[in-house]
Chains A and B, each alone.
Chain A
Amino acid sequence: MMREDLATAQTQAWQRVAAPGTWWTGAERVAIAAETRHARDCYFCAARAVALSPLAMAGAHERLESSLTDVAVEAIHRIRTDPGRLGETWFRRLCAAGLSEEAYIELVAVVAVVTAVDTFRHAAGLEPLPLPAPTEGAPTQDRPRNAHPGLCWVATLAPEDVTPDDPDLYREHPGPRERYGANIQRALSLVPRSMMHWWDLLEAMYQSSREMRDFTHEYRAVTHPQIELLAARVAALNRCEY
């Protein structure tokens, strides 16, 4: 009883996890996915999640063997297990330890995709998808030249600053623009392909911006109010202010 577009979006998202990204190889992206799953069993994460101050706790993660640095593993585990207490101090420490903001954003996107798909399938009583086999290829290392700091912890690319060299991340062609450029849509825009990777999945799991605002029609088997109730509850349990 799964909508075809939802099934397709999951398959596409999983294939994209395995493909070379902008800043990480396919193998590294799959390693990020694996570590995202593994984080839920990390003893250090469990202890830190209940500590009064997460940054004050010393210790090491129970991590998988991979080429990922300890800094990347810290980012993955913390985002997966304690997202509501993430702060800019923590983020700046990651950068000082060598994780670039571009690589960080791509990592965030992979963690989000894996979390979304895994949580959905767990909630629905479906078996988790096996991790995909990575595909070969080098990261493109394309940074949008008009990405600017100021909105959040990392630089972002506003819709009005998109150039012909950038992918159509806000879906402006042929027009009108489908992704309006809300802050939450700009959050991953420093890595446009990651932003598109995430939003293609999100819109199939939730709704597109247009569908969300069209109260004359129900696009899902749950109504607009039911959808927002679900969303609000998840956000509250995750202690997400946005």
Chain B
Amino acid sequence: MDGATVTGVPGGEVLLALVDAALGRDPDVLVQARAAVRASLGLTALIDATAVIGAFDGITRIADATGIPLEPAKAEQTADFFAALEIGRFRAQKV
């Protein structure tokens, strides 16, 4: 995934960079990413954005650690970008 991808979401690029930095290992990059979000969206938005990042860093582990399946309706609704993003490749790596 390219951090420079156009998202169509206001502030999308700096938010994506924040996620990458938060889950990465370079503290300097995280400092810069945090500053960019704060400058673009404000401090409160930075806090709420990082809370979402934390929440999903947790919940993805619950999903993966329990093998919970995606509901058929959701799978149907998301089939197009599931295929476009090749999300199914993750499944092949599970043992």
Point out residues on A near B: beta carbons under 8 Å: 1-3, 6, 53-55, 79-80, 83-91, 105, 108-109, 111-113, 115-125, 151-154, 182-184, 186-188, 198, 201-202, 204-206, 220-223, 225-227, 229-231, 233-242
Contacts and interface: CB of A to CB of B under 8 A. Distances in A.
A109 B62 CA distance: 7
B65 interface: yes
Contacts of B63: 184, 187, 240-242
B68 A226 contact: no
Interface string B69-94: 11100000000000001011011011
B66 A152 contact: yes
A241 B19 contact: no
A117 B23 CA distance: 13
A237 B23 contact: yes
A193 to B, nearest CB: 15
A240 B90 contact: yes
A205 B55 contact: yes
B15 A238 contact: no
Given A202-B58, A221-B42, A108 B65 contact: yes
Interface of B: 1, 7, 9-12, 15-16, 18-23, 30-31, 34, 41-71, 85, 87-88, 90-91, 93-95
Interface SS, B side = helix
A188 B61 CA distance: 12
Contact of A234 (B9, B53, B65): B53
B70 A242 contact: yes
A113 B55 CA distance: 8
B69 to A, nearest CB: 6
In order of increasing CB-CB distance, the 10 nearest A-B pairs are A120-B54, A116-B58, A87-B94, A123-B22, A205-B55, A123-B50, A240-B60, A234-B56, A242-B63, A221-B44
A123 B53 contact: yes
A122 B86 CA distance: 30
